């Protein structure tokens, strides 16, 4: 009997969950603990490095950014100013992470040079 044969936390399922869990942890960490601009910059640069090295899908941080924009809209209707401002900063950082990872993925692809005959 294999210990991780059909378990929820098998090696294959962890590899599928990890790209979605890392940005969530970064956003929660930046929202609760990190309030300085330099600290937030460093943690999101680390997120870019992780997503680039392990070749995770760069659309994941963009999806989280869109989700944060929706949450901002809901909080704005309730006149919550301080959380909305911090969520705006975090969502823009997630957009930057996604776009930088997309540019890195674009440059990683080796495209043949086409010549016009």
Tens digit of pLDDT at every position of the chain (117 positions): 455 555 555 667 777 889 999 999 999 998 888 778 888 899 999 999 999 999 899 999 999 999 999 999 999 999 888 889 889 999 999 999 999 999 999 988 876 667 776
Q: Are 23 and 94 in contact (CB under 8 A)?
A: yes
Q: What is the pLDDT of residue 1?
A: 46
Residue 89 DSSP class:
H
* CA distance linking residue 112 with residue 104, whole number of Å: 17
Residue 3 CA to residue 14 CA, distance in Å, equals 15
């Amino acid at each position: 009997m294999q210990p991780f044969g059909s378990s929820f936390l098998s090696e294959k399922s962890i590899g599928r969950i990890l790209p979605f869990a890392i940005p969530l942890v970064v956003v929660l960490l930046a929202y609760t603990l990190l309030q300085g601009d330099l600290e937030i910059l460093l943690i999101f640069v680390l997120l870019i490095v992780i997503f680039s090295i392990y070749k995770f899908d760069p659309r994941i941080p963009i999806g989280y950014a869109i989700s944060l924009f929706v949450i901002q809209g809901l909080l704005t209707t309730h006149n919550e100013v301080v959380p909305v401002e911090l969520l705006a900063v975090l969502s823009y950082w997630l957009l930057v992470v996604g776009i930088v990872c997309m540019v890195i993925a674009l440059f990683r692809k080796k495209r043949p040079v086409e010549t016009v005959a």
